[in-house]
Chains A and B, each alone.
Chain A
């Protein structure tokens, strides 16, 4: 028996890894390609600056720190180009739309855009650190060789002055032994822009940590616009031509292989070697970032244009526990289940846009959101709509965005689990499934839904309650009571509530929710649930969809493995981890 279960565990593990890879191969590919690109660019630039002849004299003063600085600079240019692209959400929506014939797996990476943005940001931080440390060494070496009186090659090279007739002959930007590195830094374009953009980067990072972002979103949003300073300073950063290489002509005339040893005799008549001449590079950062900047400006213009289109509010409903429902219409708006929109209300705040999951089904002729009071902006918005006598505030909408999991309609049996606020997208899904069922939509393969709603207390979701009870009613009318099987689990129960429930055990409807299905207390015992479903549908493919915390995802995916039969003809549970 033990060997059988070990084989089962092992094969389930492979199946999981296999399943995961099948679902995510494109994301993994993109990640590997991006890492590979970074490594390639770093090594490429490193080798050039470490080996090329035109940097021979530069290396004489600076050593390997030169190569580190330049290699990290190239990677910084590349990553600064890449970082703007994942935040162009309209562009990504467009890509997703044009790829609608594509497999759902191909579109998955588009939904991980913010993860990619963060990864690129971390990489920028790492390379910035390398770049700055390398340049600290570079400036120190330049300073030392300018002050050195030992007649070494380095000190001779440093004495090549920029004020002489051939203004191109200087190598060392620190021209006098009295100049400190701090002075040299802040009086050069590269140094000044470098310091400013690093400070901007640090401020962006400290205000974007999860703790600040979740709790003080506006602080994150406004501070993150420092990226404009970052971009401008980056474009200007290379303008000083401070990294110098020997010119072609000078190399032809006095190649370092021939002339580096005889530096005491440069420009003397007897020697064939002349003083080397150097030139700086033109700035290249702008070439990398120009296209993404243009794309991003276009994206912001597009967002503005879309937001200017009129949104007609067709219905305003105040639900219990201070939940506001807005039903709206907008020309050209088309949505799919589980998507979200960004909402702006100029009378509450001119600049803030907040995301909300859509709670209406695509089959309805309006789109709706349910807004809970969760902070400054939401409270003010709800208050603005509560005033019956003042004119209705104007709303601007951008979207819809987000992943579209059409898989939810593809399974014969669907197990839907919504925890806490994760129940919101299921409003859209349940309604849509019901509409499709009524119209006998052939795209809908679902025959049975098990819906688990887990929350602390139903207070703020009383509106969802109403949705369930109206679905209950409609199913009764159509005689299809068995189609939707839902259970509500209250995890925030106390002895009072339990006492009440025990007293009212015989009543037909639940005392807390008024629904026909009784409320359960505590967390669901997934083993029982899964074994019941497996017994009821021994030959079906069951899709499990979750919108909730990671711990729940783990237990559900474990149960999926445990209750999936080894025989592919028998019951199979597929866990859809990424949802909405």
Chain B
């Protein structure tokens, strides 16, 4: 169990709670239930929570599956720095947000689920987890010719013109012994 990142589950739970709050809020407001204004609050709180929790944080190990289109919300959530990075803040925030919805039966389920999410975030915070945004990886383009500043100015060194001439026909017979230009004596003792 040591490798469980509780914040990941808290995130799913909070997202679900947001949706439940929105649904309960819509039912209460549309049906004009008693104290239905709590329902309107619930819709607003639910939308806020869904937006906050939509971008998934980065896992400590391994690759993280992004939610569809989350990069827009990631950039917004990132702006708040430590307020959104720290899970203690999120735990307290969710707990406070859940309280007003507890006054209405239609949204009390949302309250319970959000309170549970808050508890899991608290556990995550105690274990030192943090919200790390998933950054898009910069595309590594192969630097073609990055080190070429300018073409070479000098031609490559070549041996003198005589040697570059094609070898004469006599030398084609590779089987024959070598003809020495200077007589060589073989000193055999």
Contacts and interface: CB of A to CB of B under 8 A. Distances in A.
A and B: bona fide binding partners: yes
Interface residues of B, number: 31
B95 interface: no
Interface residues on A, range: 20 to 34
Contacts of B12: 206-207, 209, 211-212
Given A203-B116, A215-B62, A140 B33 contact: yes
Contact of B116 (A144, A199, A211): A199
A215 B34 CA distance: 44
Interface string A361-384: 000000000000001100000000
B184 to A, nearest CB: 40
A198 B109 contact: yes
Contacts of A139: 105
B9 A206 contact: yes
B112 A199 contact: yes
B126 to A, nearest CB: 17
For chain A, what secondary structure do more than half of its interface residues adopt (helix, strand, loop), or is it mixed? Answer: helix
A34 B9 CA distance: 32
Interface in B31-78: 31, 33-34, 56, 59, 62, 65
Interface string B101-141: 00111101100110010000000000000000000000000
Contacts of B4: 216, 218-219
B16 interface: yes
B16 A202 contact: yes
Nearest to B33: A140
Contacts of A133: 23, 27
Given A181-B105, A376-B3, A215 B13 contact: no
B97 interface: no
Interface in A511-531: none
A178 to B, nearest CB: 12
Contacts of B23: 129, 133
Contacts of B56: 211
A195 B59 CA distance: 33
Given A136-B31, A206-B13, A211-B65, A216 B8 contact: yes
Given A137-B31, A143-B34, A218 B1 contact: yes
A429 B62 CA distance: 31
B91 interface: no
A205 interface: yes
A212 B4 CA distance: 9
Interface in A111-169: 129, 132-133, 136-137, 139-140, 143-144
A50 B4 CA distance: 49
B16 A195 contact: no
A196 to B, nearest CB: 9
Interface of B: 1-5, 8-9, 12-13, 16, 20, 23-24, 27-28, 31, 33-34, 56, 59, 62, 65, 103-106, 108-109, 112-113, 116
Q: Which A-B residue pairs are the 9 nearest by beta carbons?
A: A206-B12, A181-B105, A206-B13, A216-B4, A140-B33, A136-B106, A182-B105, A206-B16, A376-B3
Given A143-B34, A207-B12, 4 more contacts: A212-B8, A215-B62, A219-B9, A376-B2
